[in-house]
Structure 1
């Protein structure tokens, strides 16, 4: 399993659509644009994000975990990667993605991340 720029506390992402929370609560949903994409945010998603606690599920994954995160990540602080990594059981790896943005919009950086994941996964997958 691999994470890229993931928050340790999923509720963290609610701030990205705070401006429509009143509409989500009253109407049940609202449309929000994040990056270049439009999403329908439902009341249930907000509740699930706020209730999620990864402190238990991360150590119980039962899978090797690769945590990739940019030390200069502007959307999700790098400390989140450290918390995910600390919570994970072995085998686990933490790899910095220097210079990457949250959506890996730079093709070269995205290909680098994909290559790192592929190389890492090869070590942890059973032989063909």
Structure 2
């Protein structure tokens, strides 16, 4: 469990525990048209926007980001909504850090070891 000290009006309020149930992952997955030069440019712009927002590319149309709770999730969801391309489908999933830990992964027809969750959060 990670602890974080928060401040309010210059005062230290003590540790806030960040549990694996409060920490959440955002998965943004999308299917955007790329049949014209304009559509390809919009898709590229959207992918670059996600990277600028701190998401990491998991696969070509799947981007992940760890967030600290529902409020942080909603903030990012609103930003994504304000930067959608003109056409296509975008889905935003949320799941806890504990659920992320239990994802089963296969690569090249074999099951991969569990991915270790980050032990530290970078706060900006």
TM-score (norm 2): 0.26
Larger relative contact order (C-alpha < 8 A, sep ≥ 6)? 2
Higher strand share: 2
TM-score (norm 1): 0.25
Higher helix share: 1
